[in-house]
Amino acid sequence: MSNIFTPRTKNNQSGPSVPGGGMRGLLSVPFMIIAAGVIAVWMSYTPIDEGEVGVKLRWGQAVATLHPGFNIVFPFMESVVLLPTRTQKFTYEESLNAYSKDIQAADNKVSVTYSIDGTKAIMVYQRYGQDFLHTIITPIVNKRFKEVFGKYEAEKIVNERQRLGEEIEISVSKNMPVGIVIEGVQIENITFSKTYEEAREQAASAEAAVNKARQQLEQKKVDAERVVVQATADATARITAAKADADAIRLKGDAEAAALQAKAAALRDNPGYVALTAAEKWDGKLPTTFVPGSAVPFITLPRGQ
C-alpha cells in the first residue's frame, strides 16, 4: 500500500497537471509561433541592389526575373541567383598565348568588360549557369583572339596594336550568345619571345644607321646644291658685269663714230669749216721760227676788207 498511496504534501494541488509548467508553458507556445513567423518573413525577404537582376528558382527551376528592390521568396522552396547588369571587368591571370602570321609566339595579357542583358537573364542562367564568365565568355575570347592575332605579322602587331584590339573586340562580340553583352576586349600587354625582341632591336639599330646615312647624304646634296647656286650666281654676276662693260664700250664707240661722221659731214658740206676752226684757235701770233719748206699760217680774208 505504501507504494500506491503517497503522502500528499503541502504544495501538491489537486486537478490535472499542465505540461510545460502551467501558464508559463502556455505563454511560450504563441511566442514560438510568432518567432517562427518572424524567421520565415526574414528568410523570405531578398533585397536586390542596382546593377543586378535576380533569377528566381523554384525547386531549382528558373521561373522569374527579380529586379532591384524589395522581393519576397518562399523559404526552402524558392531561392535567388544574382547576375550583373552593371559593367564588370575581368583580367585573366594567365597570359593568353598566340602566334602571329609570321609564326612569332607572344604572351598576351588580356582583360574583358561585360554585362548581362536583364531581359535575357533567365535564358543566360538556363544555358550557361551563374559562372557564365568561364563557361562561355572565356572560351570565345581565347578562340577569337587567336584567330585575329594570327592574321597580323609581328611587326604590324607592334605598330597597329589599337587596330588589332578593335578587330578582336568586334569578333568576340559577334560570336557571343544573346543576353551576354561584351563592352570591350583590352590587350593589356604583348610580350614576344626574347629572340624576336633582340632581332627587332638589331633591325631598329640598322634602320637608325641607314636613316642617319641618308640624312648625311641629303645634307651633302644640299651643300652641293648650295655651292652650285652660289657659283651660278657669281658667274651670272660676272657675265652681267662683262655685258654691261661691253655695252658701255659699244655705246661709247657708237657715240665716237657718230661724232666722227658728224664732223666728216660738216667738213664735206662746209669747205671753210677747217679754216674757221683754225682761225678760232689761232692767237694772232706768227711763229718766230720756220722750218724750211713749211707752210706759213694765213687767214683768207674776203676782198674789199
| Digit-coded pLDDT (tens) for 130-165 | 899 999 999 999 999 999 999 999 889 888 889 999
- Can you tell me the mean pLDDT for 218-228? 80
Distance CA 204, CA 206 (A): 5
Same-domain status, 133 and 220: no
Distance CA 8, CA 63 (A): 66
For 166-203, the pLDDT digits (tens) are 999 999 999 999 999 999 999 999 988 887 777 666 67
Is the residue at 72 inside a domain?
A: yes
- pLDDT recorded at residue 68: 83
Is the residue at 99 inside a domain?
A: yes
Same-domain status, 78 and 163: no
- pLDDT recorded at residue 150: 93
Is the residue at 292 inside a domain?
A: no
Least confident of 154-158, 223-227, 273-277: 273-277
Domain boundary among 157, 175, 192: 192
Same-domain status, 99 and 183: yes
The yes-or-no verdict on residue 90 having pLDDT over 90 is yes
For 23-79, the pLDDT digits (tens) are 455 457 665 665 554 555 545 567 788 888 988 888 888 888 888 877 777 777 878
Q: Positive or negative CA dihedral for 238, 243, 246, 247? A: negative
Same-domain status, 151 and 179: yes
Q: Which domain holds residue 217?
A: 193-260
From the list 74, 78, 81, the residue with the least C-alpha distance to 44 is: 74
Average pLDDT score over the chain:
77
Same-domain status, 73 and 108: no
247 vs 150, more confident: 150
The CATH code of the domain that includes 129 is 3.30.479.30
- pLDDT recorded at residue 63: 87
- pLDDT recorded at residue 145: 95
Domain boundary among 38, 66, 83: 83
Is the residue at 293 inside a domain?
A: no
Distance CA 103, CA 278 (A): 114
Residue 39 CB-half CA count within 13 A: 7
Same-domain status, 53 and 111: no
Calculate what percentage of the chain has a pLDDT beyond 70: 70
From the list 80, 91, 90, the residue with the least C-alpha distance to 49 is: 80
9 vs 173, more confident: 173
Give me the residue label for grid cell 508553458.
25
- pLDDT recorded at residue 272: 65
- Can you tell me the mean pLDDT for 284-294? 64
- pLDDT recorded at residue 71: 73
Least confident of 105-114, 226-235, 254-263, 272-281: 272-281
Same-domain status, 223 and 135: no
Distance CA 137, CA 244 (A): 89
Same-domain status, 98 and 151: yes
- pLDDT recorded at residue 8: 45
Same-domain status, 204 and 248: yes
- pLDDT recorded at residue 33: 60
- Can you tell me the mean pLDDT for 216-242? 81
Is the residue at 303 inside a domain?
A: no
Same-domain status, 104 and 167: yes
What DSSP element (H or E) covers 182?
strand 180-192
- Can you tell me the mean pLDDT for 88-96? 92
- pLDDT recorded at residue 146: 94
Q: Where are the alpha helices (DSSP H) in the chain?
A: 23-44, 121-128, 132, 138-149, 154-159, 161-174, 194-269, 273-281
Same-domain status, 130 and 39: no
Is the residue at 221 inside a domain?
A: yes
The yes-or-no verdict on residue 280 having pLDDT over 80 is no
Number of domains in the chain: 3
Same-domain status, 145 and 217: no
Is the residue at 283 inside a domain?
A: no
Is the residue at 233 inside a domain?
A: yes
Domain boundary among 39, 68, 83: 83
Phi, psi of 286 (to 5 degrees): -90, 150
